[in-house]
Amino acid sequence: MSNMAGQVALVTGGARGIGLAISQRLIRRGMNVAVGYSRDDAAADRLRQEHPEVTITLHQGNIAKADDCARVVDEVLETHGRVDVLVNNAGVTVDKTARRMTAEEWDHVIHINLNGAFYMSSGVVQGMLDRGSGRIINISSVIGEKGNIGQANYASAKAGLFGLTKSLALETARKGITVNAVAPGFIETEMVKAVPAEILAGIVEQIPLSRLGTPDEVARVVEFLADPESGYITGAVYSINGGLYM
């Protein structure tokens, strides 16, 4: 039996793209999974139907809103009793050069990618402290490590996640909780499919491994960090980018 069987994971944006691959890997380890989603309810419901062997619950909410996050955490605690693993995965991009970017476009991306991770983490961390165990994994990006033209809002939010990861790691380490970040490069999901083909071809040319990554290649690192046996890794950033940034 898996050493994660019966544990509870909360995965934001867990019904699509990288989040879906993470949910699937944790489900395969026997975890019960609370899936946060904003609009993709059909995908979330499909995931539940496909895995009757574990308890999967669906929680709709806008992660940019502190009240929604508090409600989602309450719902999850009511249903599952606890959260052993939180994966802050939900994210969006709104690309424009800083010169043209509006304050709303800046705020929107910061609120979802950075504030959302803070709201969810602060919602679950007390329970983890009380139990003396827990895993928080933040999905950042290579863009947070190296910056990018047209992505000042996204790069700032994703770089901000490194600060959140390391500070929370320090604040919780004595209680056996680990907090880590993964920084994917360009991964084949809806987010990357939105990039025009000729721009994408140019990006692939710059990737030493000469291809995009898959959602499962990110999910397997998240699964590794979520494992109870990975308890000596905290405050770390795992780059998964095909060598794009070293």
Q: How far is the CB of 60 from ligand NAI (least distance, A)?
A: 8
- Which of the following is catalytic: 154, 232, 238, 245? 154
CA angle 214, 219, 223 (to 5 degrees): 155
Question: Is the sign of the CA dihedral 3, 216, 192, 100 positive or negative?
Answer: positive
Q: Residue 19, interface with ligand NAI (CB under 6 A)?
A: yes
Q: Residue 148, interface with ligand NAI (CB under 6 A)?
A: no
Q: Residue 114, interface with ligand NAI (CB under 6 A)?
A: no
Q: Residue 123, interface with ligand NAI (CB under 6 A)?
A: no
User: Do residues 140 and 158 make contact, with C-beta atoms less than 8 angstroms apart?
Assistant: yes
Q: Residue 47, interface with ligand NAI (CB under 6 A)?
A: no
* Binding range to ligand NAI, per CB under 6 A, among 48-56, 127-135, 188-196, 199-207: 188-196
d(CA 100, CA 97): 5
Instruction: Give the C-alpha distances (Å, rounded to integers) separating 153 from 143, 148, 185.
Output: 10, 10, 17
Catalytic residue check, 238? no
Tokens 């999967």 map to which residue?
A: 56
Q: How far is the CB of 62 from ligand NAI (least distance, A)?
A: 4
19's tokens: 């989040």
Burial of residue 229 (CB within 10 Å: 0-12, 13-18, 19+) is exposed
| Strand partners of residue 177 | 134
Residues 48-107 binding ligand NAI (CB under 6 A) are 62-64, 89-92
Which of 4, 7, 16, 58 is close enough to bind ligand NAI by CB under 6 A?
16
Q: How far is the CB of 16 from ligand NAI (least distance, A)?
A: 4
CB closer to ligand NAI out of 119 and 172: 119
d(CA 96, CA 51): 40
Which of 11, 17, 76, 123 is close enough to bind ligand NAI by CB under 6 A?
17
- C-alpha of 187 from chain center: 14
Q: Residue 134, interface with ligand NAI (CB under 6 A)?
A: no
Tokens 């139907």 map to which residue?
A: 49
Active-site amino acid positions: 154
Residues lying near ligand NAI in the complex (CB under 6 A) are found at 12-13, 15-19, 36-38, 40, 62-64, 89-92, 112, 139, 141, 184, 186-187, 189-192
